[in-house]
Amino acid sequence: MTVNFQHVLRPVCCHGCLAVLNTIQQNGLTEEYLRSKEQVESSLI
């Protein structure tokens, strides 16, 4: 299962993660999301 996020296909573990990423993009929260992910330094979405 993958989601088109920032024009890149990324793997997601479940429909929940897919929905979250879609919601983030639709609400223009992509930058905030990526910023928080940088702090975690996780390869997981």
Instruction: Kindly tell me which residue out of 13, 19, 29, 34 binds Zn ion, with binding defined by CB under 5 A.
Output: 13
Stretch that binds Zn ion, among 7-15, 25-33, 36-44 (CB under 5 A): 7-15
Site residues for Zn ion, 15-34, by CB under 5 A, read: 16-17
d(CA 32, CA 16) in angstroms, rounded, equals: 19
How many residues touch Zn ion under the rule CB under 5 A: the total is 4
What is the contact surface with Zn ion in residues (CB under 5 A)? 13-14, 16-17
